[in-house]
Structure 1
Amino acid sequence: MSAGKQRKVANIATFIRSINNKISPMIAWREASALVYYSSKYNVPTDLSVGIAKTESRFNPSAVSSKGAIGVMQVMWKVHHGMLSAKGIATTRDHMFDPERGVEAGVLLLSRYINAYGTVQKALNRYYGGISVSYLKKVNNNMAMLQRHSEKTGF
């Protein structure tokens, strides 16, 4: 991993801990590494992936929504299990609680939505499961929060 990507991982890991101090340093590092790696692999802006992870779960890999979305990126296993299994990302629902697998699943879905719908806004609406101005604002605010954190920490 390049020095620049290492700095990005360190910045995101400290951001995760500043948002949710219940996340251990090791889990924060695993999530940050996964966010940087899979955002690059699937051609998604890292700050967008981080903004979604904060919005969806506050970086909690054990998060489960009332609708059944799970993990860091709150992926709907019952909807996406076929594709995730075929890609080798997750073959069981419990795999989605693993920080790396959960991040990879969410970033892959986001990448597919961006490619299918042509804009980040439309992709976010699809990721959310409907049109929501408040969801878009939350993601954008969380991206801006990461930017401020980066400026403050010098990463």
Structure 2
Amino acid sequence: MSKCISSYSSDFQGEQLEASSSSALLANAMVPVYRLLNGLLVITVFLLVGLWLSGNGTNAGAFDFARILVPDEARQVVWQNGFGMLDQYKDQTPQAAADKDIAAVIYNKGATSNNTKIPLGIAKHQTVALLMPSVAHTQVKPISALADQIPTSKVDPQALDSKLLISVQNQRSVADFFEQKYKLDRAKIEEYVSNTVLIAKEVNIDPILLLAVISVESNFNPLTKSQAGAEGLMQVMTSIHKEKYALYGGASDAIKPEVNIRIGAYILKYLIATSGSLRNGLKFYVGAGNTDTDGGYVDKVMSERNRLIELCKGSTLQANSGRKLILNSKNVRS
């Protein structure tokens, strides 16, 4: 009887050792699988975070489901974080250094649907250099909610921000140009240029392009009204775009620069994206999309745009030369 018990015990221990050995072998075999699963998990997390952050700026394709993952406000806070634009003023000429004091304007792209602002303590805000900073404090609802629905990938790169008006110095040069060209009140032209730079940032379109369109459309006269019913600086067809003006309390404010430029900029970006190119978008903007000729409109806008680009590049080169001169004189004195 004891032999039987001893034999049974020995067999049981053998089975335990065999089971333990099998578990160890299985565990070792599963190590690569676990590593693969962990790697896939890490990649998935990165993809989700990427979609989360990218979802704020587009409504296209796979990015759409980023809006399901987290509330819009939360994504906007993260999306805004760290976007500063004033580093360009470091070690620049005395005039540019002085500009820094008037350029630190808060631009909150993350305004909520009821036009409330995200508090400064929650996240860093974008700063936009403006010739007239006070325009940033005008109580007007941003149009970014509409503009962000237009995929940037569909917009002709020529229509995207050229970064030539990120400095107050270049904005001043453009204001000088239009002041002399149209004999405008200096305060008004600074207001229009600053509004255009701010709104271009909001819509994600080139401010130089918008200024060229304003120049050709209205000669910077906000009271201009065509026989067809186009109004304001951007000569928007008020009757056709009533639903867009509803965002701003109705068409009664159609000629206000801060409203008119926003509506016009959004329409222009939409037409460029849907027509396939900058030139086609401009042709549709003037209402000549389905005709053989636009009366030279597109060439006029492009010519004005190119003139402003050269003006800004020349101003930038002059500023860089002045900075080198100052640095060289410092080296000589030392």
Alignment of 1:20-39 (within 5 A): 20-21=182-183, 23-39=184-200
TM-superposition CA deviations, 1:52-73 (whole Å, max 9, x none): 1011001111111111100001
| Mapped partners of 1:5, 1:152: distance in 2 | 13
**Cα distance change, pair 101–134 in 1 and its aligned pair in 2 (3 A):** same
- Specify every segment of 5 or more residues in structure 2 that has no aligned partner in the other structure, as ranges: 1-127, 131-165, 320-334
Q: Which residue of 2 aligns with 1:134?
A: 296
Mapped pair 1:65 → 2:223 = no
Shift of 1:18: 2.1
The TM-score with structure 1 as length reference comes to 0.85
TM-superposition CA deviations, 1:43-90 (whole Å, max 9, x none): 2122211111011001111111111100001000000011231xx2x3
The amino acid of 1:82's aligned partner reads E
Residues 81 and 91 in structure 1, CA contact (< 8 A), matched pair in contact too? no
| Mapped partners of 2:177, 2:214: distance in 1 | 12
The amino acid of 1:121's aligned partner reads R
SS of alignment partner, residue 82 of structure 1: helix
Bigger relative contact order, structure 1 or 2 (CA pairs below 8 A, ≥6 apart): 1
Q: Which residue of 2 aligns with 1:56?
A: 217
SS of alignment partner, residue 97 of structure 1: coil
Q: Where in structure 1 do 4 or more consecutive aligned residues deviate above 4 Å?
A: 151-155
Q: Which residue of 2 aligns with 1:13?
A: 175
Shift of 1:39: 1.5
TM-superposition CA deviations, 1:2-53 (whole Å, max 9, x none): 48342343233223212211x3212111110111111122121222111110
The amino acid of 1:144's aligned partner reads N
- Specify every segment of 5 or more residues in structure 1 that has no aligned partner in the other structure, as ranges: none
Q: Which residue of 2 aligns with 1:91?
A: 249
CA RMSD after TM alignment: 2.1
The TM-score with structure 2 as length reference comes to 0.42
**Cα distance change, pair 140–105 in 1 and its aligned pair in 2 (3 A):** same
Residues 84 and 105 in structure 1, CA contact (< 8 A), matched pair in contact too? yes
Mapped pair 1:80 → 2:241 = yes
The amino acid of 1:11's aligned partner reads S
Give the number of the structure whose alpha-carbon radius of gyration is greater.
2
Mapped pair 1:47 → 2:217 = no
Shift of 1:115: 2.0
Percent sequence identity is 22
How many residues are paired up? 151
| Mapped partners of 1:96, 1:5: distance in 2 | 29
| Mapped partners of 1:98, 1:48: distance in 2 | 20
Residues 64 and 71 in structure 1, CA contact (< 8 A), matched pair in contact too? yes
| Mapped partners of 2:239, 2:296: distance in 1 | 25
SS of alignment partner, residue 79 of structure 1: coil
